[in-house]
Structure 1
Amino acid sequence: MSNPGQADPTPITSARQLAEWFAAGCKPKSAWRIGTEHEKFGFRRTDFTPPDYEHQGIRAMLEGIMQKGWAPIRDGANVIGLTRGSASVSLEPGGQFELSGGPMEDLHAARLELAAHLRDVHEVAGPLGLGFAGMGFHPVARREDMPWMPKSRYAIMRRYMPTRGSMGLDMMLRTSTVQVNLDFGDEADMVEKLRVSLALQPLATALFASSPLREGKPSGYKSLRGHVWSDTDPDRTGIPALVFEEGFGFERFAEYVLDVPMYFVARDGQLLDATGQSFRTFMAGGLPSLPGIEATMGDVADHVTTVFTEVRLKKFLEMRGSDAGSAAMIQAQPAFWVGLIYDDAAQKAARALTRDWTVAQMHQLRADAPRLALEAGIAGRSLRDVARDALLISEGGLKARGLGEEIYLTPLWEIVESGMTQADRILEMFHGPWQGDARQALPFTEL
């Protein structure tokens, strides 16, 4: 989840203003960039427990990396993030350490950024006795074992989440993901890209599955993280059917966002609890619980960050369906999507691959993929076969860029050809050399 941005005090009085905010993200192809975000679980090397904020833990990590030229982001007296240029480091609720990378021109630059960040993490974490692992769900810790980071929005969400689903707190505390932010040219291009990426997001869940363990035992899921999102908050998650309706565009998505219940309103450095109340009501005349406060464009920009659809529209598109994983898999995630939707021919082929899928079939695939991974199916085809087609399209799109970026798809090809996801490798080790000791998954997946 993002660090807070700069508030825009312009009053908002219509959905059209939000639609225009989305539309401001339209860019010529020459300006399209790649932004990768990834999270990782910290663990203490002595006993594999998650580090808390204090006690040579997450605060010390932030302060150590701050010495490498990063500026602090504070929530009250606490450092809760870092910023340097267009990149940031932020904290998930359970202390998951996140890099939100800057906009890169190509995948090679994204790889160098990732390598530099992991080098910094290793240098700071080593003396603290900490390691950081890339998995989609914590393999050992119970919910009550996870620390809470001192970030105001998380206190609000902690109270609200259990009212909307049984696994919202697990999502906050015990999951980690890798995401990519990609650009669009105009409204029609945004619609096409959003439809393609939403339809294929369950495939990404399967390909990147790395979370088969829960509290020390196999969970029955390959991507337990993916399953957790199925019962987190139905008001703001999933694959919105409206995206596939005739006439969908910026304004229709803006109308949808205005009806997503709020979490908070930021004023004077404080977050005010607005949970469950409609932004549309806020925009129309204010919230009864917060009298005298007028809705602004800054408020709606904050509100957009609390929409958790499988692909989130902001001033770019944010792919959200993948488990965290190894460094090679972190790099493979943006490669997969760049290949599919940054080349015109590849994007048309990807749309053709998914065009006949119904929304009901996509919803079923989203339910099946976390459990079955590539053994799931859609429209009479196995997901493994669909994955092979999608990778061929992505590879072609990357080759068309002429930069040699298709090399980053190698781990995905290995998964499709072998049928073995990261989750399957973890289970193989759990039942073999680890002799049922799930704690070993943390050093095994260390970044």
Structure 2
Amino acid sequence: MTQLDAAARKDAAPVESKDDLTGYLASGCKPKADWRIGTEHEKFGFCRKSLTPLPYDGERSVRAILQGLSDEFGWAPVYEGDHLVALKKDGASVTLEPGGQFELSGAPLEHLHQTCNEVHSHLDQIRAVTDTVEVGFLGVGHTPNWTRAEMPHMPKGRYGIMRNYMPEVGNLGLDMMHRTATVQVNLDFADEADMVKKFRTSLALQPLATALFANSPMVEGKDTGFVSWRANIWTDTDPNRTGLLDFVFEDGFDFERYTEYMLDVPMYFLFRNGDYVDATGKSFRAFMDGKLDLAPGERPSLEDWTDHLSTAFPEVRLKTFLEMRGADSGSWSRICALPAFWVGLLYNSSCLDAAWDVAKNWTPEQRHALRTDAAHYGLKARIGKHSLQDIAKEVLAVSREGLRDRAQLDTGGSDETGFLQPLQEIADSGLTMAERMLADFEGPLGRDMHKLYEKYAF
């Protein structure tokens, strides 16, 4: 049993200078032999009969499922106060997003076959503890029918602070918190130069991932006109901590420049003595100078810095690794496809060069337009003379080559390239999962939401 408690931070050594913050980011550098793949995915739990979201407490609830996973499969429970809020086991964790979305944060693994086995095992365990209580899980980028008012609130202190703050800085932040779900992958870098190249390449190509994984066309039962309403939500959440980060593409970008960016991202909270203290809008720079009014004379520890790093939400986020954040959640095969896509591009130097060649001449204006258009039109979006569908085919070929070169085989002798097949089908057809879902809903499913859930649930 683990209790979230930061009392020990009271005695943690304060950072001495900005160099300590930058050094923390640089501590992620590691040799290629030590690079790993960490995959995360979120999903919505629902009551099968009513199609309503799961409350936190009760027979059919978020807490009951967490407890079932702990009791039946040996996951260690994590509490915040009296509330069960997470599980840990073998380097992985199951956590709760603000609206009750279940997130599997996978262990750092060597190859994609392990990743897919991890996802498969997790979903099997979820089904084992939910089938008898008529609970299901849906992997989409945005809830297709629930209103914001219907969404439960998870009892985590930081989420309460965010709920109060979000309406002050954007119109859709509460929807981001409660009604969206994503799949992402965390990847390593060798040194600062490798980080810069991977950051630029993945940030420029993030709208392509948005289009390939677009899976959120509906809100409250209606077509939004966007293939990824989740991606559109991020454009009106909080401009101080989201977006494509133009400075990453500027000459001289490095760990220190990202540190400067994060010092200017307004704070959300302090974690002290087991409680979250509202620090919304406060300056981490002032905290560094011992001038934070909530903690006068106190300077942050590295634990405070790591907390703060988690409160920025750009399309690619830097910690001691790089997080790819542009994709909607989806079905089992597409969860595995997301890490495959990025590993193929970023973990092979020649493929990284080829991927950067695709995007290196795009202007900031083109990148921002593509981000918007990918959420709206999917692979029909255009940049210059090229459609995103054309770019998808080209980039998938590069990714496939990178995976083939890795030569990581499963027990049947297959390499990792097969995990790209769902994306290849989308690229070849030009139709996103969102467009297919809408066609199903309006056609063979007869606008029956129960049938939609039945078809697209795990």
The interval holding the TM-score normalised by the smaller chain is over 0.9
Q: Counterpart of 1:25 in 2: which secondary structure? A: coil
Of residues 264, 288, 291, the one that matches 2:293 is: 288
Of residues 213, 220, 224, the one that matches 2:229 is: 224
In structure 1, C-alpha distance between the alignment counterparts of 2:155 and 2:341, rounded to whole Å: 35
Match of 1:33 in 2: 36
Offset at residue 218 of structure 1 (A): 0.7
In structure 2, C-alpha distance between the alignment counterparts of 1:420 and 1:263, rounded to whole Å: 39
Alignment of 1:78-157 (within 5 A): 78-157=83-162
Of residues 270, 279, 289, the one that matches 2:275 is: 270
TM-score when normalising by structure 1: 0.97
In structure 1, C-alpha distance between the alignment counterparts of 2:163 and 2:379, rounded to whole Å: 33
In structure 2, C-alpha distance between the alignment counterparts of 1:437 and 1:157, rounded to whole Å: 34
Alignment of 1:349-364 (within 5 A): 349-364=354-369
Tell whether the 8 Å contact from 1:277 to 1:287 is kept in structure 2 after alignment: yes
In structure 2, C-alpha distance between the alignment counterparts of 1:89 and 1:251, rounded to whole Å: 32
Question: How big is each residue's C-alpha offset from its partner over 1:190-218, in whole Å with a ceiling of 9 and x where there is no partner?
Answer: 00000000000010000000001100111
Match of 2:17 in 1: 14
Tell whether the 8 Å contact from 1:40 to 1:176 is kept in structure 2 after alignment: yes
Q: Does 1:64 align with 2:75?
A: no
Match of 2:411 in 1: none
Tell whether the 8 Å contact from 2:212 to 2:379 is kept in structure 1 after alignment: yes
Q: Does 1:23 align with 2:26?
A: yes
Structure 1, unaligned stretches of length 5 or more?
none
AA aligned opposite 1:65:
L
Moved more, 287-296 or 160-169: 287-296
Structure 2, unaligned stretches of length 5 or more?
409-414
Tell whether the 8 Å contact from 1:139 to 1:439 is kept in structure 2 after alignment: no
Question: How big is each residue's C-alpha offset from its partner over 1:233-283, in whole Å with a ceiling of 9 and x where there is no partner?
Answer: 000001101100100000000010011000000111111110001111111
In structure 2, C-alpha distance between the alignment counterparts of 1:25 and 1:415, rounded to whole Å: 34
Tell whether the 8 Å contact from 2:5 to 2:273 is kept in structure 1 after alignment: no
Aligned-residue identity in percent: 51
In structure 2, C-alpha distance between the alignment counterparts of 1:297 and 1:443, rounded to whole Å: 46
Offset at residue 4 of structure 1 (A): 6.9
Offset at residue 5 of structure 1 (A): 9.5
Tell whether the 8 Å contact from 2:137 to 2:457 is kept in structure 1 after alignment: yes
AA aligned opposite 2:390:
D
RMSD (Å) for aligned C-alpha atoms: 1.3
Offset at residue 14 of structure 1 (A): 2.5
Offset at residue 438 of structure 1 (A): 3.6
AA aligned opposite 2:329:
A
Between Structure 1 and Structure 2, how many residues are aligned? Answer: 445
Offset at residue 439 of structure 1 (A): 4.5
Moved more, 293-302 or 368-377: 293-302
Question: How big is each residue's C-alpha offset from its partner over 1:165-206, in whole Å with a ceiling of 9 and x where there is no partner?
Answer: 000000000000000000000000000000000000010000
AA aligned opposite 1:315:
T
Offset at residue 289 of structure 1 (A): 3.2
In structure 2, C-alpha distance between the alignment counterparts of 1:345 and 1:330, rounded to whole Å: 25
Question: How big is each residue's C-alpha offset from its partner over 1:277-321, in whole Å with a ceiling of 9 and x where there is no partner?
Answer: 111111111311333543111101100001101000000000000
Question: How big is each residue's C-alpha offset from its partner over 1:346-399, in whole Å with a ceiling of 9 and x where there is no partner?
Answer: 001001111101122111111111110000011221000000010000000001
Q: Counterpart of 1:102 in 2: which secondary structure? A: coil
In structure 1, C-alpha distance between the alignment counterparts of 2:455 and 2:58, rounded to whole Å: 25
Match of 2:343 in 1: 338
In structure 1, C-alpha distance between the alignment counterparts of 2:5 and 2:192, rounded to whole Å: 25
In structure 1, C-alpha distance between the alignment counterparts of 2:323 and 2:362, rounded to whole Å: 22
Tell whether the 8 Å contact from 2:289 to 2:299 is kept in structure 1 after alignment: no
Moved more, 289-298 or 308-317: 289-298
Offset at residue 148 of structure 1 (A): 0.3
Offset at residue 126 of structure 1 (A): 1.1
In structure 2, C-alpha distance between the alignment counterparts of 1:391 and 1:88, rounded to whole Å: 30
Moved more, 429-438 or 249-258: 429-438
Match of 1:167 in 2: 172
TM-score when normalising by structure 2: 0.95
In structure 1, C-alpha distance between the alignment counterparts of 2:215 and 2:19, rounded to whole Å: 40
Q: Counterpart of 2:186 in 1: which secondary structure? A: strand
Alignment of 1:174-213 (within 5 A): 174-213=179-218
Offset at residue 419 of structure 1 (A): 1.3
Of residues 399, 405, 415, the one that matches 1:394 is: 399
Moved more, 13-22 or 378-387: 13-22
Q: Does 1:435 align with 2:446?
A: yes
Of residues 393, 412, 416, the one that matches 2:423 is: 412
